[in-house]
């Protein structure tokens, strides 16, 4: 491309748009479904339950320790599909780009998306590119929308959760939120904090063998673990009791949060899953989770009670019990 | 809601986000698929070909003669699915909202989306809401991604176009682009110019009865009619000859374009379709199009030749023939 920055004409829908798509996106993502360049992708699907999930990514900065907006945009939607019990198959991608963005950055982002999609086994099948004037967006915003097939026998929904079920979180909480905050504020710690940004595609096959013992899964992104537990307690009409001492937090994150007066239970994660599982299967599942590197620090953090309905109670490290509320107000903005 | 403007906390993923979703979006869009508020929608689908299309909308101003960003965000993606030959079924919606946006405006937009979706018969089944700081986006950007089923026997693709096929456009071209430009620049004309923003869902059933006589459809949005004709000429490896005198342009649009030195063939449309159809079916199809109000001004504007491959030639009103090129550079930015 002769230009090295995005111009308004790259969003015109004409010749410059075509060149941008050909030289940046198609080059990174080439596949036979996107190739005909129709108004949409044509996909052969089997009959059954389809999951559909959408997310826009507005994270700042665009590149951060452990990932970038491109990787994040694939992982976020893939993890949402996995939480629905679906095998992620196809993603659409839509870019809103600020005039002046270096095309080299856009290329890095597109390549990062391609790499992550290849790992996961999803295809980027259709897309859209818009350009807005300098100052009308912040660098680049990406939407990905994904679809996947839910295999027979898989049914992850809050109403299936019952008293006695165990609550598992698949690893350290708060890494992503703290990594973004630290980079943005120029904070450095003796042990660097890296985002957990990852697509948990390896979970799918492993978890499927537990059949209906898995009741519900959700990825604790914005609002953190505490917010997701509260959402599910309300949606399932159950109470949740967790033990603070059982919740895995990386030492560096714990130290930094203590220093900054922040709570890792409200910090965003981008490569974690909260799982509700029948008590009888919990220990075997935990053993299996420990065999996979993205879930090596998984832990049983609590259990489900009949009530108080819609409430999450936490037993603190000092042995007291208190309500763990949903995130109120604002925490760290634009972390995804 | 106690606030009347969007705050950063509305994008936190916590309590304020839930309230915004409950009080603005769910209230406007309520349906049984969205209700469980999972990480995605669960949809029962038949086996077959699925079309998937995505578009982000960054139009300014948010409200314009003939529509608003909400209506446009439904029509745009629905028309793309129709162009793929699909019955539009489900849409995801993702909002990026600027801090400070009046919540009343957001509510108008959500209601406009609901109204348009009801008319078309599509459901808004899953969504996402992000908030960015004042100055980091411009009002609100909306992504919609749609899926639909392509019925047996429908196959709209450029490679099916053959020499001798006729080219139809379903109505006046350039209305949307000119309406936006006029509003933005404060231009007034003796006959007001109104956007053609519309979802062409009535076309589906009517067109389906022509079976494989319909070769290809595409909606001429950004870049206008001229750009879409060029894209298809290249993708189909054929030549296209159109007659300038046959292309329907509303008198007010023609007058304004002459005055401003703009060409309506490059102006955006948001409720039109370009159709390539077997010559034997063209007159009957045109007759049927004239019975529907959104396509009442449809016209046969030209035909397909074996060559010159990839080129669009236009016979001007003076009888000369020239190349009608793809849009180069920039035209009217942010019209969709």
- pLDDT tens for A99-120 read 999 999 999 999 999 999 999 9
What pTM value is reported for the model? 0.97
Contact present, B81 and B53 (Cβ < 8 Å): yes
Decide if A161 contacts A306 (C-beta within 8 A).
no
Q: Measured over all CA atoms, what is the biggest interatomic distance in chain B, rounded to whole angstroms?
A: 66
Note whether B14 contacts A327, CB cutoff 8 Å: yes
Q: What CA–CA distance (Å, rounded) separates B262 from B282?
A: 30
Residue of B nearest to A37 (CA): B235
Element (H, E) at B62: none
Which one of A141, A266, A333 has the shortest CB-CB distance to B8?
A: A333
Dist. CA B214–CA B285, nearest whole Å: 9
Closest B-chain CA to A125: B52
Whether B43 and chain A come into contact, CB under 8 Å, resolves to yes
Q: What is the mean pLDDT of residues B138-152?
A: 97
Q: Which of A125, A148, A26 is nearest to B52 (CA)?
A: A125
What is the average per-residue pLDDT within B5-16?
Answer: 94
Alpha helices in chain A (DSSP H): 15-20, 27-29, 69-83, 103-120, 175-185, 201-208, 224-236, 251-260, 279-290
ipTM: 0.97
- Per-residue pLDDT at A35: 80
What is the predicted pLDDT for the residue at B34? 83
Q: Which residues on adjacent β-strands are paired with residue B27?
A: none
- Per CB-CB distance under 8 Å, the chain A contacts of B17 are 222-223
Mean pLDDT for B84-107 is 97
Q: What is the CATH number of domain A158-323?
A: 3.90.650.10
What is the C-alpha radius of gyration for chain A, rounded to an integer number of angstroms?
21
End-to-end CA distance of chain B: 30
Considering only CA atoms, which of A144, A76, A60, A147 is closest in space to residue A110?
A: A144
Instruction: Residue A14: list chain B partners with CB under 8 A.
Output: 222-223, 227, 266, 326-329, 331
**CB-based contact B130 A58, cutoff 8 Å:** yes
Hey, is the C-beta of B54 within 8 angstroms of any chain A C-beta?
A: yes
Model confidence over B199-250: pLDDT tens digits? Answer: 999 999 999 999 999 999 999 999 999 999 999 999 999 999 999 999 999 9
**Phi, psi of B42, rounded to the nearest 5 degrees:** -110, 120
Which pLDDT belongs to residue A164? 98
Closest residue to B84, CB basis, from A16, A38, A92: A38
Q: What is the pLDDT of residue B61?
A: 96
Residue A275 contacts by C-beta under 8 Å, 6 or more apart in sequence? A167, A168, A169, A170, A207, A214, A216, A217, A285
Average pLDDT over residues A168-188: 95
The nearest CA of chain A is from the CA of B157 a distance in Å of 8
**Four-residue CA torsion sign, A255, A259, A261, A267:** negative
CA-to-CA distance for A231 and A225, rounded, in angstroms? 10
pLDDT at residue B273, rounded to an integer: 98
Judged by CB atoms within 8 Å, which residues 79-108 of B form the interface with A?
79-81, 83-84, 86, 90, 92-96
Chain A residues with CB inside 8 Å of B79's CB? 39
Q: How many Å apart are CA A8 and CA B60, to the nearest integer? A: 14
A43 — pLDDT class (breaks 50, 70, 90): very high
Flag whether pLDDT at B1 surpasses 70. no
For residues B115 and B122, the answer to whether their CB atoms sit within 8 Å is: no
State whether A84 and B51 contact (CB < 8 Å).
Answer: no
Q: What is the pLDDT of residue A182?
A: 93
pLDDT value at residue A2: 62
- For the record, the structure tokens of A77 come out as 């939607």
Is the pLDDT score of B253 beyond 90?
Answer: yes
Model pLDDT, residue A145 = 98
For residue A151, the 8-state DSSP code is P
Counted across chains A and B, CB pairs separated by less than 8 A come out at 284
Q: How many CA atoms lie within 13 A of B201 on its CB side?
A: 17
Pull the structure tokens for residue A218. 């959700």
Percent of all residues in chain A with a pLDDT value above 90, rounded to a whole number: 89
Q: At A318, is the secondary structure helix, strand, or coil?
A: coil
Which H or E element spans position B323?
A: strand B321-323
Question: What pLDDT was estimated at residue A1?
Answer: 54
Element (H, E) at B115: helix B103-120
Partners of A49 in the β-ladder: A150, B44
Q: Quick one: tokens of B232?
A: 């298809």
* Domain regions of chain A by residue span: 8-150, 158-323
Across B258-276, average pLDDT: 96
Which residues on A lie below 8 Å from B57 (Cβ)?
A: 130
Question: Which pLDDT score, from 0 to 100, does residue B175 have?
Answer: 97
- B positions 132-171 inside 8 Å of A (CB): 132-133, 135-138, 141, 143, 145-147, 150, 157-158
* pLDDT exceeds 90 at position A286: yes
- Taking each helix axis from N to C end, the angle separating A69-83 and A103-120, rounded to the nearest 10 degrees, works out to 30
State the pLDDT confidence band at B38, using cuts at 50, 70 and 90: confident
Judged against a pLDDT cut of 90, whether residue A307 lies above it is answered with no
CA of B238: how far to CAs of A315, B120, B163, in Å? 72, 34, 7
CA distance to A207, B14, B40, B77, B183, per residue, from B62 (Å):
45, 27, 27, 17, 11
Query: At B185, is the secondary structure helix, strand, or coil?
Result: helix
Once rounded to an integer, what is the mean pLDDT over residues A311-318? Answer: 96
Q: B294 is written with which tokens?
A: 């959104």
Distance CA A270, CA A272 (A): 6
CA atoms within 13 A on the CB side of A115: 13
- The arithmetic mean of pLDDT across residues B23-31, rounded, is 89
Rounded to 5 degrees, φ, ψ at B248 are -70, 125
Beta pairing partners, A144: A55, A93
Query: Do B200 and B307 form a contact (C-beta atoms < 8 A)?
Result: no
Whole-angstrom distance, CA of residue A284 vs CA of residue A210: 9
Question: Is residue B6 exposed (0-12), middle (13-18) or buried (19+ Cβ within 10 Å)?
Answer: buried
Confidence of residue B33 (pLDDT cuts 50, 70, 90): confident
Give which of B19, B41, B54 to mutate to test A binding, by max A Cβ within 10 Å: B54
Residue A276, pLDDT score: 98
Answer yes or no: do B38 and A157 touch at CB < 8 A.
yes
Core vs surface per residue A18-49: b (16+ CB within 10 A) or e: bebbeebbbebbeeebbeeebbbbbbebeeeb
The pLDDT-based confidence of A36 (bands split at 50, 70, 90) is: confident
Structure tokens of A128? 């859209």
Among A229-238, B41-50, B153-162, B187-196, the least confident range: B187-196
Cα diameter, chain A? 66
Question: Between the CA of residue A137 and those of A40, A60, A272, A305, what are the distances in Å?
Answer: 26, 12, 29, 46
Does A9 score more than 80 pLDDT? yes
Q: Looking at the domain A8-150, which fold is it?
A: 60s Ribosomal Protein L30; Chain: A; (3.30.1330)
Q: How does residue B2 score in pLDDT terms, banded at 50, 70 and 90? A: low
Taking alpha carbons only, the member of A90, A224, A212, A238 closest to residue A169 is: A224
Task: Tell me, yes or no, if the two domains A8-150 and A158-323 fold the same way.
Answer: no
Mean per-residue pLDDT of chain A: 95
Of B95, B150, B222, the CB nearest to A42: B150
Please count the other Cβ atoms lying within 10 Å of the Cβ belonging to residue A208: 14
Chain A residues near residue B326 by CB distance under 8 angstroms: 14-15, 18
- E strand or H helix that includes residue B197: none
CA distance B158 to B238: 9
Q: What is the chain B residue with the closest CA to A11?
A: B333
B259 contacts: CB under 8 Å, gap ≥ 6: none
Nearest residue in A to B36, CA atom? A235
Rg (CA), chain B: 21
User: Would you state the pLDDT for residue A324?
Assistant: 97
Q: Give the position of tokens 């979006």.
A: B25
| Mean pLDDT within B313-327 | 95
Q: Note whether B49 contacts A51, CB cutoff 8 Å.
A: no
């Amino acid at each position: 491309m002769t230009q090295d920055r995005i111009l308004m004409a790259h969003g015109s829908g004409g010749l410059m748009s075509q060149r941008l798509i050909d030289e940046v996106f198609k080059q990174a993502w080439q596949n036979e479904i996107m190739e005909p360049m129709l108004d949409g992708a044509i996909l052969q699907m089997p009959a059954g339950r389809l999951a559909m999930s959408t997310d826009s990514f507005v994270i700042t900065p665009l590149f951060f320790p452990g990932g970038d907006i491109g990787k994040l945009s694939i992982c976020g939607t893939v993890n949402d599909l996995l939480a629905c019990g679906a095998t992620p198959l196809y993603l659409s991608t839509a870019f809103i780009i600020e005039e002046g963005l270096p095309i080299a950055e856009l290329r890095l982002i597109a390549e990062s998306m391609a790499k992550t999609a290849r790992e996961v086994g999803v295809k980027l099948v259709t897309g859209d590119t818009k350009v807005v004037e300098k100052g009308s967006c912040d660098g680049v915003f990406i939407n990905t929308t994904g679809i996947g097939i839910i295999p027979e026998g898989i049914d992850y929904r809050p109403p299936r959760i019952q008293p006695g079920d165990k609550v598992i979180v698949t690893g350290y909480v708060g890494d992503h939120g703290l990594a973004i905050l630290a980079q943005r504020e120029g904070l450095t710690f003796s042990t660097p904090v890296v985002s957990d940004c990852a697509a948990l595609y390896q979970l799918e096959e492993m978890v499927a063998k537990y059949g209906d013992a898995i009741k519900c899964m959700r990825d604790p992104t914005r609002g953190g673990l505490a917010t997701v537990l509260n959402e599910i307690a309300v949606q399932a009409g159950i109470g949740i009791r967790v033990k603070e001492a059982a919740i895995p937090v990386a030492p560096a994150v714990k130290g930094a949060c203590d220093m900054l007066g922040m709570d890792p239970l409200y910090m965003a994660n981008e490569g974690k899953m909260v799982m509700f599982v029948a008590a009888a299967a919990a220990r075997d599942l935990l053993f299996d989770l420990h065999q996979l590197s993205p879930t090596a620090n998984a832990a049983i953090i609590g259990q489900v009670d009949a009530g108080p309905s819609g409430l999450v109670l936490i037993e603190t490290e000092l042995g007291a019990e208190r309500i763990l509320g949903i995130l109120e107000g604002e925490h760290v903005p634009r972390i995804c």
